[in-house]
Amino acid sequence: MQLTLEEYFNEFRRQLQIDAENNFQRSTFLETVSEELKETGAINGFEPCYYDRESGKKGGIKVDGFYFNEDGTTLDLHIADFENRVTLESLNKKDYESVFGKCRRFFLTARNNHLHLDLDETAPEYRLARGIYDRKDRIRRVNFILSSERKLSTHKKVLDTHDLSGVKAVYSIWDISRLHRQYCSRGGQEPLDVDFKAMFQQGLPCLRAHVGTNVFRTYLVVISGKILAGLYEEFGARLLEQNVRCFLQARGNVNKGIRDTLIHEPHNFFAYNNGITATARDIKLNEDRSRIMHIQDLQIVNGGQTTASLYHISQAKNSPDLSRVFVQMKLSEISDNRSMEIVHNIAKYANTQNRVSIPDLRSNHPFHVQMEQFSRRIWVPAIEGQFKETKWFYERSRGQYADAQSRMTPGEKKRFKTEYPKRFTKTDLAKFENVWDEEPFWVNLGAQKNFIQYMERISKAWEESSEQFDETYYQRVVARAIVFKETERLISRQYWYRKRSGYRANIVAYTIATANALGKNRDRMLDHQKIWKDQGIDDSFRDQLALIATFVRDVLYLDDRPIDNCSEWAKKKEFWTHLKRDMPEMNRELTRDFWRYFVPTEEVTRSPSGESLVK
């Protein structure tokens, strides 16, 4: 029994109210939707950028977020339809065409009319407008993405593409019903339907290879580089199974060996390249069963770097003729109840040129299994004024929170949400840990890269001693989560953030890392047990964190920073070094209200088992 659309809408609103102050639910809405789309591969990244300007009779210009791809040829522009509506309403054609029109005008104004000259150089909208202007001769495609809390009144979720001053304009709508479908869908993302006859005017040559097995059908396929690059251009990272996508985000886009072969020996690419491995939910063949004509839920589980490299090379000047380049593909049709397990094992064991590393497949690591077990078993202390104890729900794998409720009655769901009012994911955990362990630059590189880095060090620590990850460690994680979320909220309330919202994620990460570093300088650490018992922090400590956040903001916005863009500057380890150099000045402003939350290091560095906690 899955959530109905109405139930999902109400649950979505409830979660927004928990995660954000009332005045900032719009930005939280965008961040929530963008994280969902990044997780499932619909987009590769997202940077908030809230710009809204009236423009007379033309209807104004507006944008809420953006992302440039690696080579600057594709731009995502996000815009939100959000007014914190209390009931589920309809989104009609007139509504979305008006919203898209504002976003289109932003792009054209930035591209043709020097919009960046009128903007504050430290603001995210300046970086976007300047980026559009500087790349105006390189941008070939703009994806206009509308996220809406309303339900689209038609079944049309993708609008017709068209030429926009020499640029391909592509439109998509993520309304609440589409988000609901994705939320409820098996595997966590909308399946890809690829009609090769319609898209490429031909099917894929194939040979049957599933002799002697009834578990699933497998085909050996020959696919041209042009078709493979075309699939990636159309579907982007959605084409890649999640673990492969994580791997690519942590590495470069174009493999040197692949590039050299394509440029110098394209006729030998089939012989040199190891090929790709893919899975599908359903495969349809032509009449003589020699060609694949249609694939439902196509996912590349190995060979993502080959796929992405072919696309990026196809976009370069003097690109080789990829129609003469061929790639071998092993394609397995998996439609039974064990599909998720089988896909995972294929991704884990298949041999490719650049094997997906073990950290990319870590949701089943014993560390995460143990954290999950703790979260289901350990009750947190009741908050003052309340009589019921609760638990934090640790979502080890995507969709667990929803799956747990899928077969519950309405009464059972209510009790479940009362028992688990808060949840966090494995990428959240990696953020909480890395900022407190003074690696905020990793957090600023994005959830997936940060998670991979975190798992590399946690895996080593687990092998050395798994006993250190005990209940005390779990309580520490929750305490750190509480401070992280409180810091997000308090920064949203600061007058300087209200005046020019932007870079909240960067400031949050460095605020917490700075707080920890200041304590470490006095041989003190955060009193995790106090925060665990209180399940919160008091106003006086929030005020101290606000002082640190203001300090971080001032350093981030320095006029003489070596990198103009603040977000990019925050991703560098050098920024952390620069910030620590100025910490003595910050230290003098802190009061007892700050140090009440820090205790001598020796009191908190050992767990009841006697093992040193991972730092």
How many other C-beta atoms lie within 10 A of the C-beta of residue 138? 13
pLDDT for 573 equals 86
**Beta strand residue intervals within 264-411, DSSP E:** 276-280, 282-285, 291-296, 299-302, 326-333, 392-395
Mean pLDDT of 231-247: 66
Share of the chain above pLDDT 70, in %: 83
| Dist CA 144 CA 167 (whole Å) | 12
| Dist CA 420 CA 510 (whole Å) | 29
pLDDT for 355 equals 42
Q: Is the pLDDT of residue 60 over 90?
A: no
Q: Is the pLDDT of residue 1 over 60?
A: no
pLDDT band at 15; cut points 50, 70, 90: confident
pLDDT for 612 equals 45
Q: Model confidence over 459-473: pLDDT tens digits?
A: 899 999 999 999 999
Share of the chain above pLDDT 90, in %: 34
Q: Is the pLDDT of residue 242 over 70?
A: no
Q: Phi/psi of residue 494, each to 5°? A: -70, 140
Q: In the chain, where are the structural domains located?
A: 5-185, 191-356, 366-381+396-603
Q: What pTM value is reported for the model?
A: 0.64
Q: Model confidence over 512-552: pLDDT tens digits?
A: 999 999 999 999 999 999 999 999 999 999 999 999 999 99
Q: Model confidence over 393-449: pLDDT tens digits?
A: 999 877 778 767 766 778 888 889 889 989 999 989 999 999 988 788 888 888 878
pLDDT for 320 equals 85
pLDDT band at 57; cut points 50, 70, 90: low
pLDDT band at 175; cut points 50, 70, 90: very high
Q: Is the pLDDT of residue 353 over 70?
A: no
Instruction: Looking at 141-250, list the stretches that DSSP marks H as alpha helix, in order from N- to C-terminal side.
Output: 176-184, 196-200, 225-235, 242-249
pLDDT for 558 equals 82
pLDDT for 501 equals 63
Q: Is the pLDDT of residue 336 over 50?
A: yes
Of the two residues 495 and 142, the one the predictor is more confident about is 142
Angle between helices 539-556 and 504-521 (to 10 degrees): 110
pLDDT band at 249; cut points 50, 70, 90: very low
Are the C-beta atoms of residues 320 and 273 closer than 8 Å to each other?
A: no
Most confident of 117-131, 207-221, 231-245: 117-131
pLDDT for 374 equals 95
pLDDT for 542 equals 95
pLDDT for 603 equals 72
Mean pLDDT of 14-36: 76
Residue 209, classed as helix, strand or coil, is: coil
**Helix, strand, coil content of the chain in percent (nearest 5):** 50, 20, 30
pLDDT for 605 equals 55
Q: Of 445, 419, 413, 416, whose CA–CA distance to 430 is shortest?
A: 445
Q: Is the pLDDT of residue 357 over 60?
A: no
Q: Is the pLDDT of residue 252 over 80?
A: no
Mean pLDDT of 336-355: 54
Give 146's strand partners. 79, 173
